[in-house]
A and B are shown apart, each in its own frame.
Chain A
Amino acid sequence: MLVIGELINGMFARVGRAIEEKDAAAVHRIASEQAVCGAGALDINCGPGSLNPADDMKWLVETVAAAVDKLLVLDSGKEEVLEAGLQAAGRPCLLNSATAEPNKLKRLLNLAARYKSGLIVLTVGSSGMPQGCRQRIESAAQIVEICVETGFPLDNIYLDPVLMPVSVAQAQVGAALETIREFKVISPELKSVVGLSNVSQSAPHRRLLNRVFLSMAAAYGLDAAILDPTDRELMESLSAADIILNRNIYCESFLKECGGAKDGRG
């Protein structure tokens, strides 16, 4: 599973401060720490408080890329911010994110295609937050249709079934799991991704809920998750899940592997 580290987000106080003070060393530390813990990709988000998000994105991308050689996931609702990040990266990234809304989806597919990048698309249609597996799959089908129309390669699409908090919409969590499996029925090339922490919003025992969901989602075939890779128990659950599912060769030191990349590479 591709682990996308979530910690470079201006919403977190230490990152917000680092952006404000252009403290590159602080960003290097957070990037390297996530890589060492097993992140294969790093999410980069300037946060809601950023006054010049395009400039901040550019600085963050350059700073992170100088510290680690990982896939960068550019996270912003604004296209000009995403493009600033893509330009600064100078290599393929993953864009986070679009929805099934056709106009914006087409613009973002175009942007991603120009930079040979991937795109995360939420299975959210015009009717708002999806209810049940079926609505999510309908949105997924629309998304695939637009990708095929525009010639965008499906293996560069990560579909997000939209995780809702178990404390708010309990039935939707199971529906999201079902949806992860159904994506592959639409096309085996499609990949799935979730923003893991959503599942435990405003609930106690958040880390427990996160790691149980992640292990279950692994069994449903989840390809990627945006999460906190420094949560050791979470990463260890993932290593154990890979062993249980026979996706990684068992050995006594299986916990050291943290998703098969104990040294933070590969």
Chain B
Amino acid sequence: MDFILNFWVELGAWFGGLLSSWGLPPWAVDLIADFLGVLILVVCGVMAVLIFTPMERKVIARMQDRPGPNRVWPYGLLQAIADAIKMLTKEDIIPTNADRALHMLAPLIVAIPALLLFAVLPWGPGLIGANLNVGILFIVAVGTIHVLAVLVAGWGSNNKFSLLSAFRVVNQLLAYEIPMVLCILTVVLFTGTMKTQGIVEAQTVPYFIVMPVAALIFLISALAEANRSPVDLLEADSEIVAGYMVEYSGMKFAMFFIAEYVNMFATGIIFATLFLGGWKFFGLEDVAPVLTPVIVFLKATFVIFLMLWFRATYPRMRFDHLVGFAWKFLVPLALVNLFLGAAVVKITANVWGQAVLMLVGNIVLAAAALFIVNRAARKLKDAPALKRIVAVER
């Protein structure tokens, strides 16, 4: 029975033992085990694309009251594989006068951060690529490479729309990074550690209950970071066709596509780690540690479902609204929330006391924020039309 309970730890130990029994030196055993671990993590990340693309198309289709893909057996669930074959057989086009080297480089750069993220995502107690001291900071730091990839793709395509999309990077990716980091900081204040494992272990109450404001800001920012509708200004099909991806075809486009979904999956796991208690689920993780990766996966799927729900529900945001929303609303709110968190941690060291205080503070904060925004909106609504336009443009 113990074997089933601690399946993953036993599996690792058994595999290491097997390698040693073949007479390999310890460093070779470590090397092979590490290499296999990396391979499994990366392949899991990429394979998730095969699950989440059909899921996205089916879920969005249901919300829009249409069947969605239903030709590829069964229920169109193999659509992703059909798409992959289509991508592979497409012609590879490099635009004339484009910067050839950079054009080829961008799809590679975009895949690196998406896959690197999986190094620090916790799948269970001890089930993690590398339990870095600075795990959560690693996630933020690696995420910035994504910005670079977009810039390189935008510049390397020799296309006006691509370049415009590259300029939008600052407005979207950089602006939304700030509230995101502030929310992560609030969580780190409570856990006292930046290890992703430690953050899960420190959550006796899932933090989305303790600090709903931080969770919501993080979700919105993560949506913008993953470049998902309604905040997909880098792609913006209706304005700049597909932005930095417009000149990419075949496998190179597929790399961007895969990176986007891997990013989404990683975002789901990060949100689950920070706010939903990671691999914890009402004590189930103690009863059956073998299930922890399943719990993490289901929580991540739930977060991705939320993101799809957002996409199906809200209209796309206008350019200036998007920037204004980040700088004038999310950043101040996240800052106040951070101060609140610091004060609460200073007032009491008791976990439950902290949770209750933070929850009450968050509710007051949310009410105040909504009141202020509501009043500003009403003022805007009552103003004459011309004045309203001027006010919005400022």
- Mutual binders A and B: no
Chain B positions within 8 Å of A, measured between CB atoms, are: none
Chain A positions within 8 Å of B, measured between CB atoms, are: none
